[in-house]
């Protein structure tokens, strides 16, 4: 890419000659650019390579060479800004546009949003970090969970209306509460062309036994062609629902996976990964998908440099964040919350006195008051008084000062728009009480939880359904690693009793209340999520889901029709 200095040199020439083609001598150029004849030739050749101008040197002294401008100053600045934007460098793009956010909005709009390329419908969305771990068999963050749902299929799925639907299994039946039979679609292929086999499904289901939610799996077999039976050690009326969890997606067998499978996973879902690096993730519609082929041909998630990511709004028609005072669109709340997970197993919170101190001193209102006002608006957060919006859980009365003066170790995601600010607020409160703070920053997960006293975590539940708490609690909340054994056994027992009872409502409130009252966690904030309906432009059916995204496979672009043609028809 051309250097910022080259652009400044072009602007200097353009302004000097007022953009008019003219005959000049090389000595003039050296005086204007304050450089030698050799450097002037190098600069002019580079500008010609960029397509900004043409330089036709005339042989012989005293003869005029021809300088022809091919681009205006604004063209060059915008072109350079676009190229910086391609690399995710929105700060550099803003700089070459003289920090004019209106011009930047025009450039961003030409790259993000809805784009038509060679007859294909492409949607480009901004994001603040790369999406590097897309393997559903390992822990994933909330945005990766959404992307994985576009790449992989499970036996069942939850649709955009949050209802249980068939997926790889076109139907199923409960032969008994401990014996379920699933009927599999024929001729399903992975993105690499491999045929899905019953053994592949059996192996993936067997691998689930290590997770608490599926620990009752006994025997899995295929009694006939395209049939899979699951035998259980205890009654489970909810099994089809539990198999819609992300960790239950069907993936390639280990021997067929490449070393970079986490970044370039291969599934059977509506989209396949064709690019994934620190600049962008590109998903392409899978023509061999067993369901309805997506109407969007490509989805590109563009990584914007972190320092300026808050400028870019998650919208398709207005990519630059609008003035808050003028922004009144309706968006939804995260169905879970961001929370502080206390280490009740081997951290300071092993002691009820410390757990009580943390629960009271770091409650949501204390933290909310510490947040800078501009950050509250930028991050879109509200105090959380329970795990889900509208819930209110009381904590025990107890210590309001620390039991002793110790160092508190706090773990948090290194790449997260809220957590660095939040950590500073927590650190400020603890230091007021004479405590020192040690921070552990990580990319995917904490390697050794025994070193952690407080773990800042987002819940990342995938639906608004109350029963989504079952998979979160038992599969990926990390509560088991940081809880008192008797407490976790109780929460597991409550979930298992729900599974074993026919037509039972999920005891979400009971679990949420117990988690707070037993001082296992402290709810912090609910976040505003997603793209509002008014910000989607011509994109149809872009309904925000619980993960703050929309189902790529269900949306389409409404074409702009020729009004003169419609008038002729009338």
Average pLDDT over residues 180-194: 97
CB 240 within 8 A of CB 180: yes
Q: What angle do CA 222, 227, 232 make, to 5 degrees?
A: 60
* Residue 439 CB neighbours (<10 A): 13
CA 135 – CA 263 distance, rounded (Å): 8
Strands ordered across the beta sheet of 169-176: 169-176, 179-184, 227-232, 217-224
Question: Assign residue 34 a region: left if phi > 0, alpha if psi is -120 to 50, beta otherwise?
Answer: left
* Residue 389 CB neighbours (<10 A): 16
| Residue 238, φ and ψ in degrees, nearest 5 | -110, 10
CA 312 – CA 321 distance, rounded (Å): 5
**What is the separation, in whole angstroms, between the first and last Cα of the chain?**
52
Token pair 């259980």: residue: 232
Percent of the chain with pLDDT over 70: 83
What is residue 327's predicted lDDT score, i.e. its pLDDT? Answer: 43
Counted residue by residue, the chain has a size of: 570
Q: Where are the alpha helices (DSSP H) in 87-141?
A: 90-96, 101-111
DSSP state of 451: G
pLDDT reading at 443 higher than 50: yes
CA 449 – CA 522 distance, rounded (Å): 18
Q: Angle, to 10 degrees, between the axis of helix 73-86 and the axis of helix 4-16?
A: 170
- Please state the pTM of the whole predicted model: 0.80
Q: List 455's β-bridge partners, or say none.
A: 341, 411
The pLDDT confidence band at residue 530, using thresholds 50, 70 and 90, is low
Residue 476 tokens read as 């990926």
CA 371 – CA 364 distance, rounded (Å): 11
The β-bridge relationship of strands 156-158 and 164-166 is antiparallel
CB 226 within 8 A of CB 202: no
Question: For residue range 285-303, what is the model confidence (pLDDT) as tens digits?
Answer: 999 999 999 989 999 888 8
pLDDT reading at 214 higher than 70: yes
What is residue 538's predicted lDDT score, i.e. its pLDDT? Answer: 61
Question: For residue range 310-343, what is the model confidence (pLDDT) as tens digits?
Answer: 555 555 555 556 554 444 455 578 889 999 999 9
Residue 290 tokens read as 């067993």
Average pLDDT over residues 221-242: 97
Strands ordered across the beta sheet of 271-276: 113-117, 120-127, 298-303, 280-285, 271-276
pLDDT reading at 105 higher than 80: no
Q: Which domains does the chain have, with CATH numbers?
A: 4-71 (1.10.10.10), 153-250 (3.90.76.10), 332-528 (3.10.105.10)
CB 23 within 8 A of CB 57: no
What is residue 325's predicted lDDT score, i.e. its pLDDT? Answer: 41
What is residue 348's predicted lDDT score, i.e. its pLDDT? Answer: 96
What is residue 406's predicted lDDT score, i.e. its pLDDT? Answer: 92
CA 32 – CA 480 distance, rounded (Å): 70
Average pLDDT, the chain: 85
CA 368 – CA 149 distance, rounded (Å): 33
What Rg value do the Cα atoms of the chain yield, rounded? Answer: 29
Q: List 411's β-bridge partners, or say none.
A: 440, 455
What is residue 554's predicted lDDT score, i.e. its pLDDT? Answer: 81
The pLDDT confidence band at residue 535, using thresholds 50, 70 and 90, is very low
Residue 244 tokens read as 């819609």
Q: Which residue has the higher pLDDT, 124 or 134?
A: 134
CA 415 – CA 429 distance, rounded (Å): 23
Q: 6: Cβ–Cβ under 8 A, 6 or more apart, which residues?
A: 43, 46, 47, 50
Q: DSSP states of 296-308 as a string?
A: -SEEEEEEPPGGG
Residue 144 tokens read as 């990766």
Stretch among 15-24, 89-98, 132-141, 462-471 having the lowest mean pLDDT: 89-98
What is residue 298's predicted lDDT score, i.e. its pLDDT? Answer: 93
What is residue 534's predicted lDDT score, i.e. its pLDDT? Answer: 47
CB 256 within 8 A of CB 194: yes
What is residue 326's predicted lDDT score, i.e. its pLDDT? Answer: 43
The β-bridge relationship of strands 298-303 and 120-127 is parallel
Token pair 């400044």: residue: 8
Q: List 550's β-bridge partners, or say none.
A: 544
What is residue 328's predicted lDDT score, i.e. its pLDDT? Answer: 45
CA 5 – CA 9 distance, rounded (Å): 6
| Residue 153, φ and ψ in degrees, nearest 5 | -125, 150
User: What's the sign of the alpha-carbon dihedral 534, 537, 541, 542?
Assistant: negative
Q: Which residue has the higher pLDDT, 420 or 494?
A: 494
Distance of CA 434 to the CA centre of its chain: 37
CA 33 – CA 14 distance, rounded (Å): 12
CB 284 within 8 A of CB 272: yes
What is residue 129's predicted lDDT score, i.e. its pLDDT? Answer: 83
Stretch among 88-97, 285-294, 295-304, 398-407 having the lowest mean pLDDT: 88-97
């Amino acid at each position: 890419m051309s250097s910022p200095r080259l652009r400044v040199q072009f602007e200097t020439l353009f302004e000097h000659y007022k953009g008019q083609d003219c005959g000049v001598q090389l000595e003039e150029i050296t005086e204007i650019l304050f450089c030698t004849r050799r450097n002037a030739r190098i600069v002019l050749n580079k500008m010609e390579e960029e397509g900004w101008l043409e330089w036709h040197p005339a042989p012989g002294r005293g003869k005029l060479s021809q300088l022809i401008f091919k681009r205006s100053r604004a063209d060059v600045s915008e072109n350079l800004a676009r190229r910086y934007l391609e690399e995710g460098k929105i700060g550099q793009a803003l700089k070459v546009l003289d920090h004019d956010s209106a011009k930047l909005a025009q450039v961003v709009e030409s790259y993000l949003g809805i784009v038509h390329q060679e007859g294909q419908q492409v949607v480009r969305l901004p994001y603040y970090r790369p999406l590097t771990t897309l393997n559903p068999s390992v822990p994933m963050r909330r945005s990766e969970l959404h992307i994985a749902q576009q790449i992989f299929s499970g036996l069942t799925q939850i649709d955009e209306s949050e209802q249980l639907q068939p997926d790889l299994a076109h139907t199923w039946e409960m032969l008994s509460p401990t014996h379920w039979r699933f009927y599999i679609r024929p001729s399903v292929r992975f993105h690499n062309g491999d045929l899905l086999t019953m053994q592949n499904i059996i192996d993936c289901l067997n691998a689930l036994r290590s997770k608490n939610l599926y620990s009752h799996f006994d025997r899995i077999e295929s009694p006939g062609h395209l049939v899979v039976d699951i035998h259980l050690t205890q009654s489970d009326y909810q099994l089809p629902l539990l198999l819609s969890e992300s960790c239950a997606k069907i993936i390639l067998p280990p021997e067929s996976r490449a070393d970079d499978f986490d970044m370039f996973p291969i599934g059977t879902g509506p989209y396949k990964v064709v690019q994934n690096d620190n600049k962008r993730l590109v998903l392409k519609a899978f023509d061999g998908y067993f369901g309805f082929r997506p109407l969007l041909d490509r989805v590109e998630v563009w990584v914007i440099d972190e320092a300026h990511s808050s400028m870019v709004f998650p919208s398709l028609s207005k990519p630059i964040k609008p003035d808050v005072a003028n922004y009144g669109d309706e968006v939804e709340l995260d169905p879970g919350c961001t929370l502080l997970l206390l280490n009740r197993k081997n951290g300071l919170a092993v002691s009820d006195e410390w757990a009580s101190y943390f629960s009271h001193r770091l409650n949501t209102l204390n933290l909310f008051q510490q947040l800078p006002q501009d950050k509250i608006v930028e991050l879109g957060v509200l105090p959380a008084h329970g795990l889900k919006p509208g819930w209110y859980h009381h904590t025990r009365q107890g210590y309001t000062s620390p039991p002793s003066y110790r160092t508190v170790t706090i773990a948090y995601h290194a790449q997260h728009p809220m957590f660095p600010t939040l950590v500073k607020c927590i650190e400020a409160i603890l230091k007021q009480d004479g405590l020192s703070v040690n921070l552990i920053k990580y990319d995917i997960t904490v390697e050794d939880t025994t070193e952690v006293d407080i773990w800042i975590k987002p819940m990342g539940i995938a639906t608004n359904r109350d029963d989504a708490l079952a998979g979160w609690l038992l599969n990926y909340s990390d509560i088991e690693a940081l809880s008192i054994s008797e407490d976790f056994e109780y929460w597991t027992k409550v979930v298992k009793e729900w599974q074993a009872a026919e037509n039972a409502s999920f005891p979400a409130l009971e679990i949420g209340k117990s988690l707070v009252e037993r001082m296992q966690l402290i709810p912090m904030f609910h976040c505003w999520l997603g793209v509002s309906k008014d910000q989607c432009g011509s994109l149809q059916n872009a309904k925000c889901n619980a993960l703050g995204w929309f189902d790529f496979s269900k949306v389409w672009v409404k074409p702009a029709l020729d009004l003169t043609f419609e008038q002729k028809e009338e």
